[in-house]
Amino acid sequence: MPRRSGRRLLHLLAAAALTVTASLTASANSTASAAPGSPALTPPLGWNSWNSFGCGITEAQVRQAADAMVSSGMRAAGYRYVVVDDCWFDPQRDAAGNLRANPTKFPSGMKALGDYIHGKGLKFGIYQAPNEKTCAQGVGTYPGSTGSKGHEAQDAATFASWGVDYLKYDWCSGSGTLNEQIAQFAIMRDALRATGRPIVYSINPNSFHAPTGDKYNWGEIADLWRTTEDLLDIWQNGNTN
C-alpha cells in the first residue's frame, strides 16, 4: 500500500487497540462472564472497521488492515480479529433470500475475503442486526432492508459457509422492550450454535436504546456485549463505561 495510507492505517489500528484495551480495563471488576464453552472465554482482541471507515468500508481497506495487523506486530501481540462492520452487503438479498456482498465494494465476495484474513493467521468478523434494517439502513445512510429478522438461521448458515469467526449483532433501534431484545438475540445465538462452527457472538443492545448496563446478565445470551454507545479513541466524547 502507499506509505502515507499505510502509516494512517497503522495509526487507526493503534487507536482501535487502545479503545478496546480501555473498554476491557473499565469492565474488569464486573462479575458477569460468557457461558461455559464459549469461543471467547478470554476477551477477543482485534480491529473493527467502523471508527476508521464507517459506511465507506471496502474490501481493499479490510485487506490492508489485515496486512497492517501482521506487519505492525499486533497479531503477535494477540490481536487476531478483523471485523467488517455495517455496509458490507448488497442492499438486496438474492432470489433465495441469502445475504451477499456489495459487488462494487467487495468484488471478491465475503468467502474470499475471509480466506485472505485466515491466510494471515487472523480471524474474520462480520456485522449484522436483529431488526429488519441494519444501523446504517435505519438512519438512511445506506439503502435496503437486509437485517437478519426472519432470516436468522439462513444468515447464520451463510456466515458459517464464509468462514466467519465473529459476529457483531447490533440492536440499532429505539424500539423494543428488554424482553423483546433478549428473545431476538437468543434466536441468533441458537442459529449460530446450530451451524456447528465456533463463532464468537458479540451483541450491542444499546444503540438508540436505553443502556441496559447491569440490568441483565447477557452472558446467558452472548459471548460479549456492549454496555454503552460507540466509544471513540478520545477522552472527552461524552461516553463512559
Identity of the amino acid at 131:
N
- Write down the catalytic residue from 85, 170, 190, 223: 170
User: Residue 225's beta-bridge partner residues?
Assistant: 203
165 in catalytic set: no
- Write down the catalytic residue from 67, 115, 230, 233: 230
230 in catalytic set: yes
Q: Distance between CA atoms of 111 and 91, rounded to whole angstroms?
A: 18
Residue 197's nearest CA partner among 221, 172, 165, 153 is 165
Residue 59's nearest CA partner among 29, 11, 103 is 103
Report residue 148 as a C-alpha cell: 437478519
Residues forming the active site? 170, 230
